[in-house]
Chain A
Amino acid sequence: MSNDNNHNKIIRVENLTKTFESKKDSLHALKDVSFSIEKGDIYGIIGLSGAGKSTLVRCLNLLEKPTSGKVIVKDKDLLALSKEELRLERQKIGMIFQHFNLLAQRTVLDNICLPLEIRGIPKKERQAKAMELLKSVGLESKSGAYPSQLSGGQQQRVAIARVLANEPDILLCDEATSALDPQTTKTILDLLLDINRQLGITIVVITHEMRVVKEICKHVAVLDEGILQETGTVSEVFTNPRTHAAKRLIYMGLSEETEEEVAKHVG
């Protein structure tokens, strides 16, 4: 173990700014955001829609290029990498999406094969591995089905199996349960928890649903209007939110609280 404070940080974001320029004006999606995530953590980033959380998670694998600041993943500054280096680095940073983003014209098994094809794994080997992954998400009977024949929850399971094919160190979840009903959400969250525990994959969860964070996250960051309001352990932030934005978000998110109580808390 090193004494270096950054040693355990698998992701470090430093002074990240993202501005979308249009002809008329510019939108500041992220303003000077800094935080870090420990290896093995399940880290939640919550905020209302338009808070910039999706932009933030997309900056972590450079699907979105930051305007300024640094994104350091496993001690590598992603913005300093060559195109080819970034491509290889991305293979170890998996991502799942709100709308699953499976290939509609490929079977479930062939969808899981895609990342392996990208890495040039021979056909026999990748099909065996894909089948194994499909079993691990409990969908081995659906190997020949097409995504359109699956429910939302099943599609997200396939997407999770697909992302695991690259044996990533990090898994980014961009509103991964937002298109699912509460029950299905629960099963997907349990699966993510399993992945974190058994494979030691660091998970970053972007969501507007408080219960997702409460259910699986260890640490949480509150994002509001492109500004990181506060970070901490889930229990810290949820029991004692310090900023106005966090209070508003947390008390509104707890369904057992009434409007008046929210008003009382927020003041």
Chain B
Amino acid sequence: MWDKAMIDMLLEGIKDTLYMTLLSTFFGYVLGLPLGIALAVTDKEGIQPNAVIYRILDFIVNIVRSIPFLILLILVIPLTRALVGKSYGPTATIVPLTLAAAPFIGRMVESSLKEVDHGVIEAAISMGARTRTIITKVLIGESRTSLLVGVTIVLGTVLGYSAMAGVVGGGGLGDIAIRYGYYRYETEVMIVTLVIIVVLVQLLQWLGMLLSRKLDHRKK
């Protein structure tokens, strides 16, 4: 059974999984980064406290994060159809993955930015920095290692979610694992697929940590 067709299928699965994971994480950050910045800035300890905006965003984030991914996947099918033209396959899966990742990313970014030493922020304020400058040069600049660790965690989580999309024909390694392992009882294929997923997550984690350690200058 380990013929060329099988190996091609697994390679295709790896490709699809990485495609979904990377693009969803990217679009997740397009939505989640501004969201996280807004949360950190409008918080009552933030540089521009605004209770109303904070509460609204906080509420939205909590709502979306409470929806189990499989339910979200089905809930947004109309939106997915409108954006991609179909509701199955790797490209279609990017839509619910992005929506699930964005609030999660928002929280990760918020907590990274809140780690920045308040004294450094005050120093920037005392220099006459604009709020925008403080966000880009101080908050993001100083928390970049923490943000990178966040990206690593998000990649792992999104990769895991992408496997779930296999249930509805989302494509990728999860899809293969479910089709062979669950529907056809070919446990061997399922295990191989799982091993590949584990290796991918480990690899991403290792790369992310390596990069963030390289960029960190807080310690000698």
Interface set of A (CB-CB < 8 Å, partner B): 61, 63, 87-91, 93-95, 97, 99, 101-106, 114-115, 117-119, 146-149, 159, 163, 166, 172
- Measured CA separation A93–B126 after assembly (Å): 7
Known: A114-B127, A148-B220, A166-B127. A106 touches B141 (CB 8 A): yes
- Smallest CB separation, B32 vs chain A (Å): 22
Interface check B217, CB cutoff 8 A: yes
Whether A102 lies near B120 (C-beta < 8 A) is yes
Residues of A with C-beta under 8 A to B216: 105
Interface set of B (CB-CB < 8 Å, partner A): 117, 119-120, 122-130, 133, 137-138, 141-142, 144-145, 215-220
Whether A104 lies near B217 (C-beta < 8 A) is yes
Whether B126 lies near A63 (C-beta < 8 A) is yes
Whether B217 lies near A95 (C-beta < 8 A) is no
Known: A63-B125, A114-B137, A118-B128. A146 touches B117 (CB 8 A): no
Majority SS of interface residues in chain B?
helix
- Residue of A91, A104, A163 with highest tally of chain B CB at under 10 A: A104
- Smallest CB separation, B213 vs chain A (Å): 13
Q: Which residue of A lies closest to B125 (CB)?
A: A63
Residues of B with C-beta under 8 A to A103: 120, 138, 141-142
Residues of B with C-beta under 8 A to A149: 220
- Measured CA separation A102–B116 after assembly (Å): 12
B126 CB contact (under 8 Å) in A95, A104, A117, A146 = A95
- Residue of A93, A97, A101, A172 with highest tally of chain B CB at under 10 A: A101
Whether A117 lies near B133 (C-beta < 8 A) is yes
Residues of B with C-beta under 8 A to A166: 127-128
- Measured CA separation A105–B220 after assembly (Å): 12
Residues of A with C-beta under 8 A to B133: 117-118
Q: Would you list 25 pairs from A and B whose C-beta atoms are within 8 A, ordered by A residue?
A: A61-B126, A63-B122, A63-B125, A87-B128, A91-B128, A93-B126, A94-B126, A94-B127, A95-B126, A97-B119, A101-B120, A102-B123, A103-B141, A104-B218, A105-B215, A105-B217, A106-B141, A106-B217, A114-B124, A115-B128, A118-B128, A118-B137, A147-B217, A149-B220, A166-B128
- Measured CA separation A118–B138 after assembly (Å): 11
- Measured CA separation A101–B120 after assembly (Å): 5
Residues of B with C-beta under 8 A to A63: 122, 125-126
- Smallest CB separation, A166 vs chain B (Å): 7
Known: A103-B138, A104-B217. A90 touches B127 (CB 8 A): yes
- Measured CA separation A148–B141 after assembly (Å): 16
- Residue of B124, B126, B216 with highest tally of chain A CB at under 10 A: B126
- Besides A101-B119, A104-B117, A114-B137, 17 new A-B residue pairs in contact (Cβ under 8 A), listed by A number: A63-B122, A87-B130, A91-B127, A95-B126, A97-B119, A101-B117, A104-B142, A105-B217, A115-B128, A118-B128, A118-B133, A147-B217, A148-B220, A159-B123, A163-B127, A166-B127, A166-B128
Q: Which residue of B lies closest to A113 (CB)?
A: B137
- Measured CA separation A112–B142 after assembly (Å): 15
- Smallest CB separation, B41 vs chain A (Å): 15
Whether B120 lies near A146 (C-beta < 8 A) is no
- Measured CA separation A172–B126 after assembly (Å): 10
Known: A97-B119, A146-B217. A90 touches B141 (CB 8 A): no
- Smallest CB separation, A123 vs chain B (Å): 13
Residues of B with C-beta under 8 A to A118: 124, 127-130, 133, 137
Whether A99 lies near B144 (C-beta < 8 A) is no
- Measured CA separation A106–B216 after assembly (Å): 10
- Measured CA separation A94–B127 after assembly (Å): 7
- Measured CA separation A163–B126 after assembly (Å): 9
B123 CB contact (under 8 Å) in A87, A91, A95, A105 = A95
Q: Which residue of B lies closest to A166 (CB)?
A: B127
Known: A99-B119, A101-B119, A101-B122. A148 touches B128 (CB 8 A): no
- Smallest CB separation, A55 vs chain B (Å): 13
Whether A148 lies near B218 (C-beta < 8 A) is yes
Residues of A with C-beta under 8 A to B123: 95, 97, 101-102, 159
- Smallest CB separation, A155 vs chain B (Å): 12
- Measured CA separation A94–B123 after assembly (Å): 9
- Smallest CB separation, A163 vs chain B (Å): 8
Whether A148 lies near B219 (C-beta < 8 A) is yes
Q: Which residue of B lies closest to A146 (CB)?
A: B217
